[in-house]
Amino acid sequence: MERIPSKSADLSEWYQAVCYQAELVSQAPVRGCLVLRPYGMGLWERLQSELDRRFKETGHENAYFPLLIPESLFAKEAEHVEGFAPEVAWVTEGGTEKLAERLAIRPTSEVIVGVMYAEWIQSYRDLPVLINQWVNVMRWEKRTRPFLRTAEFLWQEGHTAHATEAEAAEEVARMLEVYREVAEDICGVPVYTGEKSQSERFAGAEHTYSIEGLMPDGRALQSATSHELGQNFARTYDITYAAEDQTLQHCWTTSWGMSWRMLGALIMTHGDDRGLRIPPKMAPTEVVIVPIPRGDTSALDAAVRELYARCKAAGLRVKLDDRAGQSPGYKFNEWDLRGVPIRLEIGNRDLEAGVATLVRRDKAVKEDGQKQQVPLAEVVEFIPAVLEQIQHSLFAQAKTFLQDHTLATLDRAEFLRLLKGRAGMVDVPWCGLPECEAAVKDATGATTRNLRRPARAERCVPCGEPARWQAYFAQSY
Ligand SMILES: [Zn+2]
């Protein structure tokens, strides 16, 4: 196994090395695309199942809309098309035939969903429509950074239609809260929630809300968004319904999405110099059993197989690494690299003493509590509590980092210096004006991440105009 670079020395090098060496992904022959290997897919499936369960609990159903969108439909919503035009990939030929109309490969699906909703929705009785789809989308991109920046990526997109603005606003807030919960309680990534500024808003939306994490290099990572589309798409695509009083009304629509970017946030937030550290609730493998054979191994073989069966029966996601020809030390490093939360080691002497050694991935080597001996008879019952502790400790470490790197100031010079130095989330009263945000971006490379009300002082820190918001500024991915 190659050594991975130190995380603190160069986050970007470390990140790439971990993604490839832990076998999450491989490079594809097409630039900007990525092969998700089984271990990476395992992570995505964990995220998917946690989100999907919550979508269904909040009344949504899954459906599937096509990959291709005719240009004439796509071009109808002017602001939307202007926002996405630079990154749309087009299909111009089918077989040997040149197409009469170009087809967009979906960069997102508001358009095709809007066209169908116009057909499906007639009456107030048809509302609300609450649909999600799990798909790939494409936004042309030449650079490849696993999970963070790729031309094709996996995500879910929810699309809903409502009778009133208030219901649509409620939906958007509800789904933002689902994202916050999955980011923090499942992925262990603490986030700030809030509204996006006008220039950071989704193309065609009235209001966009986001969750934003902070990565170890002081850059923010937007991890999910939830949009109030107002009646913009409903007007463009004629999504109307007959109200109880028989008047014809436009629907209020929303959309919301989380992509595999969330995995990038998880990897950067928790990893260390030995590789990934995966929060148990997200771990494709929660426990790996590694026997340490010496001499006659028949008793040990039987004991580890029995232990493996007991773990499985208890519902744990467990692997038994009994590969011949690899040393235990090699296996330890490999499972460390893959970030499996708990390793159980058993040698002949442990077996005689009736114990296993339990090793926690969230702790540093030789840190207090990293290793402990647990009676074999009790180990399976012991594991869930340890997984719970690991989940909490990873979140607590990340939360401390976020708090330590969230800085408030009322001084303009200090504000600019903090942003240029990538000090973290810089929390200031802000005016909300696009030209003010553009000037900060020119000076520092940073933008607002998200906003909330009220402002904590009268004046905008960057420009001195009246403050309307309290804003987190940061450089971002
Ligand atoms: Zn300002």
Is the backbone peptide bond immediately before 291 cis, with ω within 30 degrees of 0? no
Find the 436 Cα to ligand 1 centroid distance in Å.
5
How many CB atoms are closer than 10 A to CB 78?
Answer: 12
pLDDT of residue 14: 98
For residue 74, what pLDDT is reported? 86
Indicate if the pLDDT at residue 168 is higher than 90: yes
pLDDT at 250: 98
Cα(431) to ligand 1 centroid in Å equals 4
- Residue 430 Cα to ligand 1 midpoint, Å, equals 5
pLDDT digits (tens, 9 = 90+) for 454-467: 999 999 999 999 99
pLDDT of residue 75: 86
Residue 117 has pLDDT above 70, yes or no: yes
Distance 454 CA to ligand 1 centre (A): 15
Q: Which of 16, 18, 10, 2 is nearest to 271 (CA)?
A: 18
- Overall average pLDDT of the 105-132 stretch: 96
The number of domains in the chain is 3
Q: Do both 250 and 130 map to the same domain?
A: yes
Write down the pLDDT at residue 295: 86
Q: How far apart are CA 106 and CA 31, in angstroms?
A: 18
The rounded mean pLDDT for the chain is: 96
User: Do 263 and 142 fall into the same domain?
Assistant: yes
pLDDT of residue 3: 81
- Which residue reads 């790996």 in tokens? 288
Of the residues 242, 270, 298, which one is the last residue of a structural domain? 270
Q: Is the pLDDT of residue 1 over 70?
A: no
pLDDT of amino acid 79: 80
* Residue 190 pLDDT exceeds 90: yes
So what's the pLDDT on residue 185? 98
Measured in degrees and rounded to the nearest 5, phi and psi for residue 176 equal -60, -40
Question: What is the sign, positive or negative, of the torsion defined by CA atoms of 197, 426, 408, 226?
Answer: positive
375 Cα to the center of ligand 1, angstroms = 62
Q: How far is the CA of 468 from the centre of ligand 1 (A)?
A: 9
Examine the fold and report which residue of 270, 301, 330 is the final residue of a domain before the chain moves on. Answer: 270
Is residue 2 over pLDDT 80? no
Q: Are residues 217 and 338 in the same domain?
A: no
How far is ligand 1, taken at its centre, from the CA of residue 443, in Å?
13
Residue 400 lies in a domain: no
290 and 241 in a common domain: no
Q: Kindly provide the b/e burial profile for residues 239-251, where b requires at least 16 CB atoms within 10 angstroms of the residue's own CB.
A: bbbeeeeeeebbb
Q: What is the mean pLDDT of residues 312-322?
A: 97
Amino acid of residue 159: H
97 within a domain of the structure (yes/no): yes
Verify that 76 and 138 share a domain, yes or no.
yes
Tell me how far the alpha carbon of residue 466 lies from the centroid of ligand 1, in angstroms.
8
Specify whether 433 is located in the same domain as 300. Answer: no
pLDDT (average), residues 9-30: 96
CA of 78 to the centre of ligand 1 (A): 28
Q: What is the CATH number of the domain that holds 266?
A: 3.30.930.10
In a domain, 396, yes or no: no
Please check whether residues 21 and 169 belong to one and the same domain. yes
Write out the residue range of the structural domain in which residue 73 sits. 11-270
The domain boundary residue, chosen from 353, 388, 423:
388
The whole-number average pLDDT for the span 295-321 is 95
279 in any annotated domain: no
Kindly give the distance from the C-alpha atom of residue 433 to the centroid of ligand 1, in angstroms, as a whole number.
6
Q: What is the pLDDT of residues 74-108, one digit of tens each?
A: 888 878 788 888 899 999 999 999 999 999 999 99
CATH code at position 382 = 3.40.50.800
CA–CA distance, 300 with 302 (Å, rounded to integer): 5
**Residue 4 counted as domain residue:** no
Does residue 160 share a domain with residue 47?
yes
Which of 50-59, 72-81, 86-95, 109-118 is predicted least confidently? 72-81
For ligand 1, the distance from its centroid to the CA atom of residue 460, given in whole angstroms, is 5
Sheet of 355-360: strands edge to edge? 318-320, 287-292, 342-347, 355-360, 371-375
Question: Within this chain, do residues 258 and 296 fall inside the same structural domain, yes or no?
Answer: no
469 CA distance to ligand 1 centroid (A)? 10
